Each structure stands twice: as C-alpha cells, then as structure tokens.
Amino acid sequence: MKKRGKILRDGYGGPGIVMIEGQQYPFSDEAWKSDVPPRLGLVVDVEFDELSRVSSVSAISDTQLLAELDSAAQTRSRKGSRELGALGLLTLVAIIVLVVSWLFLTTISVQLPAAGQMQYTFWQVLEVVHSHNLLLGMDHGSAGAGLYGMLTLLAMIAPLIPYFWTDRRAAIAGFLPLVVMLVVGLSLRALRGTASSSDESSVVAQMNGAAWKAMSLGWGAYLSLLAGICLAVSSTATLLTVHTPPPEQRHPPRSHRAAA
C-alpha cells in the first residue's frame, strides 16, 4: 500500500518520522530509497508492508509535484467550466423569462364592477407607482415610468454584464432585478395602504380605494419573481466560486523553495 506524506523529522541522530493524514510513522535509514537526503517538509511516497509498517520512503521531485498540481488544476478548471456553463444557460433563460414577464405578462389585475377587469404589466405598474394613482395608471403611457423605468431598464441589462466584464464581482449585477421588484412591491404596498386609509369622500378617491382593494397578482408577477431568484442564485454561485490561478502564478512547492 502506498500513500503520500511529508517528512516531519529527518533520519539524522535517530529514526526519521513521516506525517501521513495526521498520523506519524517512523522510518529507518534502510527504508529511505532516494538519492537526495530526507529533509523537513519534503513530500514523499510511503509504502507499507503487511503489518502496516513503513517499508520504503521515496522523495517526490519538484517536476512531478508541479505536474500533479497542473493536472489537478486542469481537472478543477474543466469541472468549473461545466458548472459555469450550466449557470450561464440558466442566466440567459432567466433573463428572457424576466423581460417577457415584465413587458408582456400580467403583473397585477384589478376587477371593478363598473370598469371590468384591468390588467397591468410590470412596466405599466411602474407608471402606477410613479403617478401614485391606480386609476391614472389606467391610461397607460400618459404618466410615464420616471425613475422606476430607468432602474427597470438597467435591471434588464445588468445580468448581462458578467458576459462582457470578466471580473467575478460583476456577478453582483445579477441581484438588481430582484432588488427592483422588491422596491416596486414595497411602493405598491405603501400606496395601497395610503389609499385604504384615505378619508376623502370624492367619487374618484372612492373608486381609487376600491381599485386598490380589488388588486391581485398575475402570472407575470410570479414568473418574474422566479426569474429574479434564479439570477440571484446564479450570481451567488459565481461569487462563491473559488478562483484557481494559472500555474505560472502559483507558488512552487515548499521543497523547491527550500532548495532555492
């Protein structure tokens, strides 16, 4: 049986000691099979006999160690590329779902006896929030989306930033769609609360209050929320991905440094 270990004590003045998986094993001069002398920190291959005693200890060359490091790094890189490729596909699908949900699907609907059912896309909801009036938002396009519209356009583009900026921190942009939906949702909640507590007796005010009470969420709201969560999860996974530097930037093995 062969295992990889490190020299904990050389064989001068007594038996040497090799550390393997947290355990210490003594070895004699006869067990040392390499031309180079044993030294502290040297990486070695250790063979055991049937009684689990050290039968031979051989030093590992710096060239072999670097080759093993490169092979392990390439394996991790291929695995990471596959994972990031899957995340990239998930991100693209989530962006498409998000844009379609925001622009074409119903985010909220209002059922009034006099006006029937009114349906609002997310972009039209931005006009409602900007105008502070659900009935004014019925005339879509007249009020405009204002600052909310600018933030929403930015949120549509933000998840694509990592495709053009390779810095891992660019993945933070993937959280923006979820943040925008949270801000708009809280704004809607605040407007609904204000309309419900209003004591105005005008017909318009009563209709506005009734409209807010009759508001319900549509499929667009749930799909866009799901897409926003997927983008946030993908961004979190990208931020937590451990970056492996290229071989020329890595430090040489300890034995190589010691020899230098």
- What number is the average pLDDT over the span 66-79? 67
pLDDT for residue 246 is more than 50 = no
CA-closest candidate to residue 254, choices 44, 105, 30, 11: 44
Selected residue with higher pLDDT from 171 and 180 = 180
Determine phi and psi for 118, rounding to 5 degrees.
-110, 130
* Model confidence pLDDT, tens digit, residues 188-218: 888 877 766 555 555 556 666 677 778 889 9
Strands 108-112 and 23-27: unpaired
Selected residue with higher pLDDT from 103 and 87 = 103
* Model confidence pLDDT, tens digit, residues 123-148: 999 988 888 777 654 454 455 788 99
Q: Among 12-16, 240-244, 250-254, which stretch is predicted with the lowest mean pLDDT?
A: 250-254
Selected residue with higher pLDDT from 75 and 104 = 104
pLDDT of residue 1: 79
Q: Alpha-carbon distance 242 to 244, whole Å?
A: 6
Neighbours of 39 (CB within 10 A): 15
Which CATH number is correct for 75-240, 1.20.140, 1.10.3210, 3.30.2310, 3.40.50? 1.20.140
Domain borders along the chain are: 2-60, 75-240
Q: Alpha-carbon distance 111 to 214, whole Å?
A: 6
Q: How many CA atoms lie within 13 A of 183 on its CB side?
A: 14
Which CATH number is correct for 2-60, 3.30.9.10, 1.10.730.10, 2.40.50.140, 3.30.2020.10? 2.40.50.140
Full-model pTM: 0.58
Q: Alpha-carbon distance 188 to 134, whole Å?
A: 10
In degrees to the nearest 10, what's the CA dihedral of 165, 166, 172, 173? Answer: 30
